[in-house]
A and B are shown apart, each in its own frame.
Chain A
């Protein structure tokens, strides 16, 4: 009997799981389909699902009107730049907090995390003024800095949890075995920490790539990444659903592909420490 109950429960949970999965995926699918429709078909009632005249016109228009590649390059520079800069600051920080903690380490970590509890709009005015006065408005450098600062607490936390899992005795063993600090890092620390650093890097690239608050507000044209490009299509003249969809697909495609190939790393990074 117990076996039957288990099978039934499994079936119910499988159905629920699929239903949730499909519900979450549906908007992406719908955006994908809409991006191939004409503007008329996009707002037709009842909406057509698969049987419509497929067209690439929206993609061509978006590329002509918005210079897709310039935005894409901005996105790449900003997400990679802020991630690289973030890791440069966070690795030594997380390292010292994990291996040479002080009485205040926990407080500092909590304080860092607490900055993420503040709504971003709370610092909008000071940041806008700083950007205006320092000439950082609509520059990639400005966005790299601001996105790095926004994501830094998460990077430090992720790396800290990861480094904490590396037993200190292994590093001590390397020291006893005659390794200098440099060799200890190259031969022992780095190989053991690479998976953690890689998953942090991937997650942070995705976060920075999808960031839409600061990128929209602090750019006009020159430094505008893909997120800002999408925003341009929700214009006062009215919404162009198919073009907006095409722009969205173009914006999410690179990160979706990257996420797909690195999902194993990402899941490991996100669930790390949850199960020992």
Chain B
């Protein structure tokens, strides 16, 4: 079991309200990702759930039980920190065994569990080493090992991959996803990387300035962004947001169009523009096109390779079925 409910949770530091009021339901076994820009309150929200910060008002329920005033140790949650937070003076074995030792488990049982976790995470050969003798990826695995041995109600991940290099991050992302699926344990994962959010989550919670902007599955957010913030945040490259005549003619204040939904032509189209930068990735070509009357350059994504370069004139046409319209308040129409 591992359902978590937040009821009107607020948090203030001094006079500053960082979480003005959050209601959220996380179901058992779900992989939920909190995503948002730096300083949006996602880590604070996670720490409130963990019990490392006290809520200013509101309630946190874990498995239906009020955990608002409970110390972290009693919430049956495991956390993986950005800095790994391993105990530097203990071996890998002792690090993983620590939560079990704290729970007063029998040493023979501890050994069995630690070896099981080490087997899953490919750490069997490193059990005698200290954290200082491990690579970043191995340290992160030890931190995950320490989290899984206790069989908690839920895992809390606080930007666990941001200290790793890009290639390793992709690997670890897959490993964490697979592990979560096989264990079926509720997980809350905090990241500022929307690709991590899109690829890992069952449910994404987009946060901005301590407020939940939208909650939904990755494809829900991609196809039906509730407002300009979510539209701009989810998707890579970012959605093009166009104001002015093009938007007004469609009855909106802002029109959004994703790079993959703009058709490129060298002869005709709705918008004529000049190529600023052409990024040839082999699989795709990204073009940044300056269009007269539209302030920011429009980004378009064309599958395969297109022979265009800086200064070329091109035409772009938005797919009418896939444009997003937003009103003056930034909400989707």
Query: Which of A's residues lie within 8 Å of B, judged by CB?
Result: 167, 169-170, 172-180, 183, 187-188, 191-192
- Is A187 a contact of B81 with CB atoms below 8 Å? no
Interface assignment of B109: CB less than 8 Å from any CB of chain A: no
- Is A178 a contact of B150 with CB atoms below 8 Å? yes
Interface assignment of B203: CB less than 8 Å from any CB of chain A: no
- Is B83 a contact of A175 with CB atoms below 8 Å? no
- Is A192 a contact of B73 with CB atoms below 8 Å? no
Assembly CA distance A192 to B71 (angstroms): 23
A178: chain B residues within 8 A (beta carbon): 73, 99, 102-103, 150
Closest to A191 in B: B89
Assembly CA distance A117 to B278 (angstroms): 65
Partner of A175, one of B52, B146, B150: B52
A29 shortest CB reach to chain B, Å: 41
6 contacts between A and B (CB under 8 A): A167-B85, A169-B85, A170-B88, A174-B98, A179-B98, A191-B89
Interface assignment of B77: CB less than 8 Å from any CB of chain A: yes
Assembly CA distance A226 to B82 (angstroms): 53
Partner of A179, one of B50, B51, B52, B73: B73
Given A177-B146, A178-B103, A187-B98, residue A172 in contact with residue B71 (CB < 8 A): no
Partner of A176, one of B73, B86, B87, B88: B73
Closest to A167 in B: B83
Known pairs A169-B81, A174-B87; list 17 more (Cβ under 8 Å): A167-B85, A169-B82, A172-B52, A172-B85, A173-B81, A173-B146, A176-B78, A176-B79, A177-B150, A178-B73, A178-B102, A178-B103, A178-B150, A179-B73, A179-B102, A180-B73, A187-B87
B52: chain A residues within 8 A (beta carbon): 172, 175-176
A169: chain B residues within 8 A (beta carbon): 81-83, 85
- Is B98 a contact of A175 with CB atoms below 8 Å? no
A177: chain B residues within 8 A (beta carbon): 73, 78, 98-99, 102, 146, 150
Instruction: Give residues 247-297 of B contacting A (CB, 8 Å).
Output: none
Most buried by B among A169, A173, A179: A173
Interface assignment of B235: CB less than 8 Å from any CB of chain A: no
Assembly CA distance A44 to B278 (angstroms): 92
Query: Which of B's residues lie within 8 Å of A, judged by CB?
Result: 50-52, 71-73, 77-79, 81-83, 85-89, 98-99, 102-103, 146, 150
Assembly CA distance A48 to B86 (angstroms): 62
Assembly CA distance A173 to B95 (angstroms): 11
Partner of B85, one of A173, A180, A187, A192: A173
B161 shortest CB reach to chain A, Å: 16
Q: Sorted from nearest, which 3 A-B pairs have the closest CB atoms? A: A173-B85, A178-B102, A177-B99
B102: chain A residues within 8 A (beta carbon): 177-179, 183
Closest to A172 in B: B52
Given A187-B98, A191-B89, A192-B88, residue A176 in contact with residue B83 (CB < 8 A): no
B102 shortest CB reach to chain A, Å: 4
B162 shortest CB reach to chain A, Å: 13
Given A183-B102, A187-B98, residue A175 in contact with residue B85 (CB < 8 A): no
Assembly CA distance A167 to B131 (angstroms): 15
Assembly CA distance A179 to B86 (angstroms): 14
A188: chain B residues within 8 A (beta carbon): 87
B151 shortest CB reach to chain A, Å: 12
- Is A176 a contact of B77 with CB atoms below 8 Å? yes
B186 shortest CB reach to chain A, Å: 15
A170: chain B residues within 8 A (beta carbon): 85-88
Assembly CA distance A183 to B104 (angstroms): 12
- Is B72 a contact of A176 with CB atoms below 8 Å? yes
Assembly CA distance A191 to B83 (angstroms): 20
Partner of B89, one of A172, A173, A176, A192: A192
Assembly CA distance A167 to B82 (angstroms): 12
Closest to A168 in B: B85
A167: chain B residues within 8 A (beta carbon): 83, 85
A219 shortest CB reach to chain B, Å: 43
Assembly CA distance A110 to B98 (angstroms): 39
B22 shortest CB reach to chain A, Å: 21
Assembly CA distance A192 to B87 (angstroms): 9
B98: chain A residues within 8 A (beta carbon): 174, 177, 179, 187
Assembly CA distance A3 to B257 (angstroms): 63
Assembly CA distance A178 to B253 (angstroms): 52
B79: chain A residues within 8 A (beta carbon): 172-173, 176
Partner of A172, one of B77, B81, B88, B146: B81
Assembly CA distance A225 to B10 (angstroms): 60
B73: chain A residues within 8 A (beta carbon): 175-180
Given A167-B83, A169-B83, A188-B87, residue A176 in contact with residue B50 (CB < 8 A): yes
Assembly CA distance A170 to B82 (angstroms): 11
Assembly CA distance A170 to B102 (angstroms): 15
Closest to B149 in A: A177
Closest to B50 in A: A176
A173: chain B residues within 8 A (beta carbon): 79, 81, 85-87, 146
